[in-house]
Amino acid sequence: MTPRGILGWAAAAWMGCGATPALGQNLLLNESFENPAFTGSHRQYWAPSLGVPHWTVSGSGNIVIHRAPDAGIDTGNSTFNFAHHGDNYLDLSGTGSQATISQSFATGIGQTYELSFWIGASNGQLPAATIGVRLDGANNLLNTALTPTAPGVNIAWTLQAFTFVADSPTTTLSFQGLSRYDDNASYVDSCSVVLVPAPGAACLIGLAALVGVRRRR
């Protein structure tokens, strides 16, 4: 088969597989709470607040952004260090409230996405199910409470991952501290939402490989 014939066959087959949007891009912004930059060990954001770029603090009370290693230096406690990524991480317990921090992002109805993030705790209190996580579109897509791992010398960050099928052009991710006191055991960092490869994406990879083999022949 000629190269032109191969490409024509591949295009027809690809149309049968169905087109897939770009993959791998994180749909969340300021996903590690690095902005705004500040000096010192922490900064509080009282609801209602838009002080953390791309995130909304709502409900009652506050959330805290810790800066490491300053937080560990300020407290004299190494289990306040280190952030999973960058310098900052989110402390949902605030000063003993149940505030919510959320971000909305564009999604395609019927498409599958993966939400992932890392959670941790200091040794201030025994870890409990104090990290509330929700995904909401036209309906509720996820509603769970998570328990972080107890720290060693430093924060023991653990990965959490969930898949969901979007049912709305916009989906909202929300984190809420479920503790009623400042437990320093409800940390979140490195949040991500990415599109899960559809069958069409795998089909395209296979077609590209086949075309390459036929060209070499």
pTM (whole model) above 0.75:
yes
Q: Which fold has domain 23-216?
A: Jelly Rolls (2.60.120)
Tell me the per-residue pLDDT of 53-96, one tens digit each, with 9 for 90 and over: 999 999 999 999 999 999 999 999 999 999 999 999 999 999 88
| DSSP codes joined into one string, 195-215 | EPPPHHHHHHHHHHHHHHHHH
What pLDDT band is residue 28 in, cutting at 50, 70 and 90?
very high
Asked whether the CA dihedral 75, 79, 81, 85 is positive or negative, the reply is negative
What is the residue extent of each domain of the chain? 23-216
